[in-house]
Amino acid sequence: MAGGRRKKQHFGRIHSFSCGRASFNGEHSLIGGPGFSRIVFCNDPECFEAGQLKYGGNYVRTTKYTLATYFPKALFEQFRRVANIYFLICAILSFTALSPYTAFSTVFPLVVVVGVTMGKEAVEDWRRKRQDIEMNNRKVKFHRGDGVFDHTKWMDLKVGDVVKVEKDEFFPADLILLSSSYDDAICYVETTNLDGETNLKLKQALDVTAKLLDDSSFENFRAIIKCEDPNANLYSFVGNLLLGDQFPLTPQQLLLRDSKLRNTDYVYGVVIFTGHDTKVIQNSTAPPSKRSKIEKRMDKLVYLLFFALVVLSFIGSIFFGITTSEDLENGVMKRWYLRPDDTTIYYDPERAPVAAIFHFLTALMLYGYLIPISLYVSIEIVKVLQSVFINRDLNMYYVEGDKPARARTSNLNEELGQVDTILSDKTGTLTCNSMEFIKCTIAGTAYGRGITEVERALARGKEAPLVQEVVEEDNVEEIDETKPSIKGYNFIDERITNGNWVKEPRADVIQEFLRLLAVCHTAIPEADDETGKISYEAESPDEAAFVIAARELGFEFYERTQTSISMNELDPMSGRKVARSVLVKVEVSDLLHPMDKRSNIKPFIAIAHITQHRIYKIMNIIEFSSSRKRMSVIVRNEEGKLLLLSKGADSVMFERLAQDGREFEVQTRLHINEYADAGLRTLVLAYRELSEEEYSEFNEEFSRAKNLVSADREEMIEEVAEMIEKDLILLGATAVEDKLQNGVPECIDKLAQAGIKLWVLTGDKMETAINIGFACSLLRQGMKQIIINSETSAIRALEKAGDKSAVDVAAKANVIQQISEGKALLSVASEDSEALALIIDGKSLIYALEDDVKDMFLELAIGCASVICCRSSPKQKALVTRLVKVKTGSTTLAIGDGANDVGMLQEADIGVGISGVEGMQAVMSSDIAIAQFRFLERLLLVHGHWCYRRISSMICYFFYKNIAFGFTLFFFEAYASFSGQTAYNDWYMSFYNVFFTSLPVIAQGVFDQDIAARFCLKFPLLYQEGVQNVLFSWTRILGWAFNGVLSSTLIFFFCARAMEHQAFRKGGEVVGMEIFGTLMYTCLIWVVNCQMALSINYFTLIQHIVIWGGIALWYIFLLVYGAMDPDISTTAYQVFIEACAPALSFWLVTLFVTVATLLPYFSYAAIQMRFFPMYHQMIQWIKNDGHSEDPEYCQMVRQRSLRSTTVGYTARFSRSKLELPEQV
């Protein structure tokens, strides 16, 4: 069905630019050459020429495997692990005579472990596959032919297809915009999925295709596009459209896959890049591979056990070789029962060295149980379950946004418990990124009585109440009750609200100020069809706040067309010819404008300022950029005057003022500084009238620069803008507050008490960042600040001279000098136990991160309690993160919410994304996503501590039980003259790690808690156990290894001595090898499971089931396996029913050995707990003794977390109490 042409004035063209014939310059001359060879046959994808090009389809696959590659790739991934390669070699050798046990019993555990891991990979890949299926099967309208558009699947699109995308739909491929529902062929695009930016981008088709108004227009449409080859650059595109003549294509016509059509009914476009050729897929890179420090140390442990295995095998083979060589001397057989005169090569006394080598290979297989085959898969299972608990923690669920915490990877759970340094973005992370218009200065007079969080923090620091807050308290409450809160507007000042500004001495300047706020922007109004209420789509929260403030103060912007802005203005009374306000009598029933209603209205008469409808014709918009730091709009008012309205940063606006336009400069600068001290963002507003001749000359140059298609296009636009943006008249400045998120100061305080350092990396100016630091209690009154910046008079003089090399040399020398001075101050402060703060700007950071300076900078930064990097670029954020991570070797966590934080998140050991208002780019690049900064407290202090403790204890226990098992084999080998004989039945050995001892360790890794969550938060210093790696130090690891060796020694020798010469059954039979092995294995199962019971701090029903169930399972296995045919059960046939169970000595020895083996660990743990308690054990004592609510006991333990160099409000108050007696 043909779509109707949209001719609606609600959303029109924002930016004034020409889309006529652009000039062919720069890269367009490269078309047809290397890298620019793509040819698209528009609306004719099935033609012969298109078929010869063989472009890929639009099917997108993000899976790791395909059906054909799953097995080879998944097996390759599994056997990249050294342990698995070892077990594979053992499995292969088990089919030879060298094997001490049957092949099946060796292969089966390996198949189970590898199979489970591969199954996990398959499940995860299937989830990705389902996402791919959903994406590829989305529907879009495409031109089937004869002017008819039908629905088709995304994956069926071909290069050259013409598609029709409707409002709020995603683009299915990279398209060239042909036309839209707007007369001038524009459309609005949201690119949140690409760059994280929520502001809308404006696109416009070429004039030559804009006439394709409806579906039927495409019946005979044919064209050829020649353009660049597929590449990853999102912001550039070079191509030509051949449609009778040749027309240049730019990024202005490019619609990228995964971006969304907004505020436009429909667009038509032609597919140029499909599937994996699209720019978004070209940009998708695999996230960096991150491994926790515990996992890396675990690898070293595996290597250490390999070394022990080789040493034991080597020792055994030497003894075996010596003993074998002595078996036959001069024809005399020493061990005649072995028949050394008639044996195989494996025991031949004549070739003892060869026999020893073969024995070495056998021993390598035999002692393989030292290596825990199920360790990796058990850890993966545990980490996945830990991630489920993180995802389902209601204390980290953000109700307002319906956003739970989400662990996007489970590989780094334990790393959450070892974070030493947090590197945080500010805007949107510490703050809400929800701007509120709170203050302004107009004509040198400051307006706005609101109190910012920073001002409150400063008042708390000085322990003095805010006079202004006390005076205005009653009035504020009255206003809050009578007027609902408005998002983006928190302005309180009766002098100019409710139309009272008309009574101010400089009402004319206030009028121009508010008019500029309402006109100088790129916001789009959108009226609610039911309520009629107008909301605004703006490029930034700041801009939305300005438009809302203008509306609330009487200048309501309500409509935008392609060439104009419409407003309802509230004009002051004037003696001029044009009556801009009138005095009228109105009945109460004649409703006043909402913003003009007052509580003291009289029964039948009120004074009302009548709003007038005014239209401003948009001539040009000069857009904001990070280099310009300002935006301007040129409009023509109803009187025909040309006005240049401009707003921007104070650093660029004051220098553009005319000499007679600086009337309020001194007062405005003073107010701006006060606003910056209050943590507010400021913009300066100025304007001037233009003559027709001046504008005509500017417009000609501006249009020429806009139509350029070359690399220096932006530079040319800026040069032309410089010509007109001068001789401005100052009106005033705005101040908006980016509020702190709820709970940020409290969270930072707890993290500081936990010993975690916090660095803030922000793009804001230094004054704003410093004051946010005060609000967060990262800074406090009296804390010495080391400020490093490049704004010195000498450097400014060199910059004016234009000598860039001299500027670089001087700036670097200046930074080095300031760092040296800071280090000197640091050494003095460390002697006095004073906390220091380091603040550095972006320019200085460039030199501080150079190879010959960065070590000095890092040494200074580490010694400071707080570090704030201002005006930091995304690259600098990533470089600072890498510097801290690499040079200190400590665990770093980066947290941010925007696309500019992605590099920092990927560079850090752990990347945490805030799912806020700046899109999902940071979340998609993160390891863990949370909705609010305050949730970081629970994520680290609770889940981080638990995960670290659980994984550390789990690995230590794993190695303990395998060492205990492996050394019983070694001792039996020594007992049996290193003959290669196994102590246990083959299936006993195979099931040891898989069934009998695996579930308790998994349960420990998932459920164990040394301290409850509320105590983790109450005693933050507990977190330092992870930072200092107390629970996984080499001392602790070797201690558990020693415990394993001791346990195996006691088990073997107690069992051997108890059973060696005793009659075991009523018939007088002594113990055979099969009974001895079963007894020793039973003792081993009891010991390692009871050892787990002793190690657990927090018992659950599941842990009881798996520990005691593991022991019970062993007895059930003995019954079932022993009842099988002797060909299957071999040495285990009827061993329990006929031999072990009837013998009292079997049960007595089991009991005695279990108690005797566990006694050393129990004694050590009791002494250590009583006389040398660790920090968590101290907390356990408080809890167990019932002192958990006793302030004195709690303070005694908690005071260890408050140090002189700690930041946070608790430390700040503690410091102020110490300083108070000195001041007195």
Q: Is 493 a catalytic residue?
A: no
Residue type at 806? Answer: A
Q: Are strands 266-273 and 162-166 parallel, antiparallel or unpaired?
A: antiparallel
The Cα–Cα gap between 666 and 653 comes to 14
Residues 41-79, buried b or exposed e (16+ Cβ, 10 A)?
Answer: bbbbbeeeebeeeebebbbbeebbbeeeebeeebeebbe
Which residues contact residue 194 at a Cβ distance below 8 angstroms, ignoring those fewer than 6 apart? 234, 256, 258, 259, 280, 283, 921
DSSP E strands in 811-885: the ranges are 836-840, 866-869
H helix intervals, 177-246: 192-195, 207-210
The Cα–Cα gap between 889 and 250 comes to 46
The Cα–Cα gap between 311 and 364 comes to 10
Residue type at 456? Answer: R
The Cα–Cα gap between 1029 and 1217 comes to 34
Residues 432-455, buried b or exposed e (16+ Cβ, 10 A)?
Answer: bbbbbbbbbbbbbbbbbbbbbbbb
Concatenated DSSP letters of 435-464: EEEEEEEETTEEE-----HHHHHHHHHHT-
The Cα–Cα gap between 308 and 967 comes to 11
Q: Are strands 266-273 and 174-180 parallel, antiparallel or unpaired?
A: antiparallel
Closest to 1121 in 3D by CA, of 1111, 1109, 1108, 1130? 1130
The Cα–Cα gap between 176 and 158 comes to 14
> Which helix or strand (DSSP H or E) is residue 139 part of?
strand 139-145
Phi, psi values for residue 247, rounded to 5°: -125, 135
Structure tokens at 125: 């890949």
Q: How many Å separate Cα 1054 from the centre of its chain?
A: 55
Q: What share of the chain is helix, strand, coil (3-state, %, to 5)?
A: 50, 15, 35
The Cα–Cα gap between 1070 and 865 comes to 72
520 touches 619 (CB < 8 A): no
The Cα–Cα gap between 934 and 974 comes to 59
Q: Are strands 866-869 and 891-896 parallel, antiparallel or unpaired?
A: unpaired
Phi, psi values for residue 706, rounded to 5°: -65, -35
Q: 486, exposed or middle or buried, with CB in 10 Å at 0-12, 13-18, 19+? A: middle
The Cα–Cα gap between 473 and 494 comes to 14
Closest to 594 in 3D by CA, of 544, 543, 553? 553
The Cα–Cα gap between 178 and 223 comes to 11
924 touches 194 (CB < 8 A): no
Q: Which of 258, 425, 738, 986 is the catalytic position?
A: 425
Give the number of other CB atoms < 10 A from CB of residue 641.
Answer: 10
Which residues contact residue 645 at a Cβ distance below 8 angstroms, ignoring those fewer than 6 apart? 515, 516, 519, 520, 632, 633, 634, 635, 687
3-state secondary structure of 69: coil
SS (H, E, C) 1008-1021: CCCCCHHHHHHCHH
Q: Which residues are catalytic?
A: 425
